[in-house]
Structure 1
Amino acid sequence: MDRHPRDRRPRKERLLSDHATETFVAHRNLLFTVAYEMLGSAADAEDVLQETWLRWVKVDQADVRDERAYLVRITTRLALNRLRTMKRRKEAYVGPWLPEPLLTTPDVAEDVELAESVSMALMLVLETLAPTERAVFVLREVFDVGYDEIADAVGKTPAAVRQIAHRARRHVDARRPRETVSARETRAVLDSFRRALEGRDLQGLLDVLAPDVVVVGDGGGIKQAALRPVSGAGKVVRFILGGLGKTTERITVDPTTVNGNPGFVVRLDGELDGVMAVRFDDGRISGLYYVRNPAKLTRLAAETPLTLR
């Protein structure tokens, strides 16, 4: 018996299928980035990509003029539908909800625009937008998609999209992080923070934290985390050292790149405890976003490629 039977489809059909596959693969990182920025969840973004693929292979390729735009439109519509259903899930979430952290490739950190758009700080701001506002903001401000294309993707008129984009931009700008700092510029601060955390050094932590620093923890009701953000250097240090004081396990803090920005992988006695993203303002740490929920720590074996193009 022939273990590898030949594909008996007509040659034209095979070529169209191959072309559809090659096109999808070529744009896959872009489509994942679009879905992730809209959803804040890599798992949900992967589900959206699977649905996008299933719809894409059924499309008559001869009718598609701009393949990239067509794929982005499918992804946006599916992500928007999922974003609306995720709202109910987030409302029932225990404690603060943080985006799923991604270990990202060096080129993401080097692209300032991309690194800012996927940073934990900005992704949290996007959480305050309504689903359609978020979709419009992401497509227009991050991916520079035209108003007509966005209108097709979200089911609005171009005029309505312009108004939504203006409103969303104003909302985000009022809450946008003031400064984006490269990992190179902040290496000394990161090293000092790492040593202070591993050494449980109160003064060392105070030296690198901004007076108005905020810690947001996400345990998802599975791992212990503060049920609301902790603000102010003194309170943050007491909170951190108080938590560490409850364990005798050795803490190790390994620098990495989280969502295109500086961060750490934290382990207790060699076991993964969580991923921490760091935000800087004026040379000090102004935000710590600590994800402990195990369901959000499944993509740490490899870096995730993201792109705006």
Structure 2
Amino acid sequence: MAQTEHVDEHPADLATGAFVAHRNLLFTVAYEMLGSAADAEDVLQEVWLRWARVDLAQVRDQRAYLVRITTRQALNRLRALRRRKESYVGSWLPEPMLTAPDVALDVELAESVSMALMLVLETLSPTERAVFVLREAFGVGYDEIAAAVDKTPAAVRQIAHRARRHVDARRPREAVSPGEARAALESLRRALEDGDVPGLLAVLAPDVVLVSDGGGVKRAVPRPVVGADKVVRMVLSGLGRLESAFTGEAVVVNGNPALVVRFDGEVDGVMAIRVEDARIAGLYYVRNPEKLTRVGAETPLARR
């Protein structure tokens, strides 16, 4: 009987296997730090180029090493993005992504990629954001974070405490169930399709905030609009200027209920919501065409 010769797996295959195994996690880390799927993909390209040159025999924990590279590359990109956002036309919103329904079942993941929380993260410094994301969303240890951001573990603990306090003061007051959020979204969809003013006022919180992002390409309000009466007038007057038929498709975007808005069947934008006390307290409408490339197919996300 012929003996089967044992052949060791090629190092390049091992590197590829490890990268693919952790890719969804690495993408999610980069996206939460950047708020841009396109930039997160660019970061992963840089991560792969660096990972492919690593001597795997010297790597004790491949996942931790990959997260470290991703964090460093995302931090570099985040600093460049902040300069770009200074010249952005109008309000800036994160890039929405169609996600699988099971993302909504992971409460921590769904909150960490929600439009509402990611807008709060925009108020942090790049290092604070990296530390907060790694610690709060992914449970990374202080020593590992310190290696990723080039700080001491003691400094990272202080940064984490400061960032958590900052975010807690600005994040949504309460978490609502996916069912409550879907019910509020359905009421909003029906009221918009019917042009129902009382229905809109019933589902919107009195101090609701509307933020829209056209990127200077599509019409959008230049700054947030506050108050149910103002928001209803703004939205319905916008719909009234269009002769096209409005439809809203309920989907899961960034792990939370949202609408893909179409006029005459053509995608116009994505409307995400923040719900408090069973009413919509935040409306986030992304119309910038460059940010609508991820609503045709689900983007896989992962925390581990």
| Range into which the TM-score falls when normalised by the shorter chain | over 0.9
Equivalent of residue 217 in structure 1, options 174, 198, 212: 212
- Amino acid of the structure 1 residue aligned with 2:60: R
Please say if residues 109 and 182 of structure 1, whose CA atoms lie closer than 8 Å, have aligned partners that are also in contact. no
Normalising by structure 2, we get a TM-score of 0.96
3-state SS of the aligned residue for 2:85?
helix
The answer as to 2:64 corresponding to 1:64 is no
Match of 2:89 in 1: 94
The answer as to 2:282 corresponding to 1:287 is yes
Please say if residues 264 and 277 of structure 1, whose CA atoms lie closer than 8 Å, have aligned partners that are also in contact. yes
Match of 2:302 in 1: 307
Aligned-residue RMSD, C-alpha: 1.2
Count residues with an aligned counterpart: 299
Please say if residues 118 and 260 of structure 1, whose CA atoms lie closer than 8 Å, have aligned partners that are also in contact. yes
3-state SS of the aligned residue for 2:178?
coil
Please say if residues 184 and 275 of structure 2, whose CA atoms lie closer than 8 Å, have aligned partners that are also in contact. no
3-state SS of the aligned residue for 1:186?
helix
Match of 2:3 in 1: none
What does residue range 147-158 of structure 1 map to in structure 2 within 5 Å? 147-158=142-153
Match of 1:40 in 2: 35
* Cα deviation 1:224-268 (Å, max 9, x = unaligned): 000000000001001101111111110001100110011000001
Equivalent of residue 112 in structure 2, options 114, 117, 141: 117
Equivalent of residue 263 in structure 2, options 263, 268, 272: 268
* Cα deviation 1:159-187 (Å, max 9, x = unaligned): 11111111000000000111222332233
- Amino acid of the structure 1 residue aligned with 2:181: T
Please say if residues 244 and 263 of structure 2, whose CA atoms lie closer than 8 Å, have aligned partners that are also in contact. yes
The answer as to 2:56 corresponding to 1:53 is no
Calculate percent identity across the aligned residue pairs: 74
The answer as to 2:140 corresponding to 1:145 is yes
- Amino acid of the structure 2 residue aligned with 1:248: E
Deviation at 1:157, TM superposition (A): 0.9
Q: Distance in 2 between matches of 1:298 and 1:186?
A: 24
Q: Which consecutive residues of structure 2, in runs of 5 or more, have no partner in the other structure? A: 1-5
Normalising by structure 1, we get a TM-score of 0.95
Deviation at 1:103, TM superposition (A): 0.7
3-state SS of the aligned residue for 1:222?
coil
Q: Distance in 2 between matches of 1:256 and 1:124?
A: 20
